[in-house]
Amino acid sequence: MSAPAKASGALRSVDYEVFGRVQVFHYFPNQYTEQEAKKLGVVGWVKNTSQGTVTGQVQGPEEKVNEMKSWLSKVGSPSSRIDKTSFSNEKEISKLDFSDFNTRY
């Protein structure tokens, strides 16, 4: 992914936390987040928290990271209700720290 990623612009990394009714089932909505990330071609991870939120990190070309941020803020998985999405530690990176997007437990 490194050659196409660099060709399409600067690489970005951002941490996120999604608040609302976002944990309906044990693996939900992480499978949808994982599918969307893979569709967009970004890497990172997603995890349910004990506080009922979903947290994670996304890395990739700036425009793809922005698309993922929009999806996390406005779309989410089916049956979820997103009240708020918080983004932090957004920065430009020289290389990706992950080779894929996956769910952490």
Q: pLDDT tens, 38-74?
A: 999 999 999 988 888 889 999 999 999 999 999 999 8
Phi, psi of 80 (to 5 degrees): -85, 155
Lowest mean pLDDT among 4-13, 30-39, 47-56: 4-13
DSSP-H helix ranges across the chain: 2-7, 30-40, 62-70
In the predicted model, is pLDDT for residue 5 greater than 70?
Answer: no
Top CATH class of 28-92 equals alpha beta
Q: Give me the chain's average pLDDT, please.
A: 85
Residue carrying structure tokens 């970004």: 42
* Contact yes or no for 103/54 (Cβ under 8 A): no
Instruction: State residue 23's pLDDT score.
Output: 58
Q: For the chain, what percent of residues have pLDDT higher than 70?
A: 84
Q: What are the domain boundaries of the chain? A: 28-92
Question: What pTM does this model have?
Answer: 0.83
Q: What is the mean pLDDT of residues 72-89?
A: 88
Q: What is the mean pLDDT of residues 74-103?
A: 91
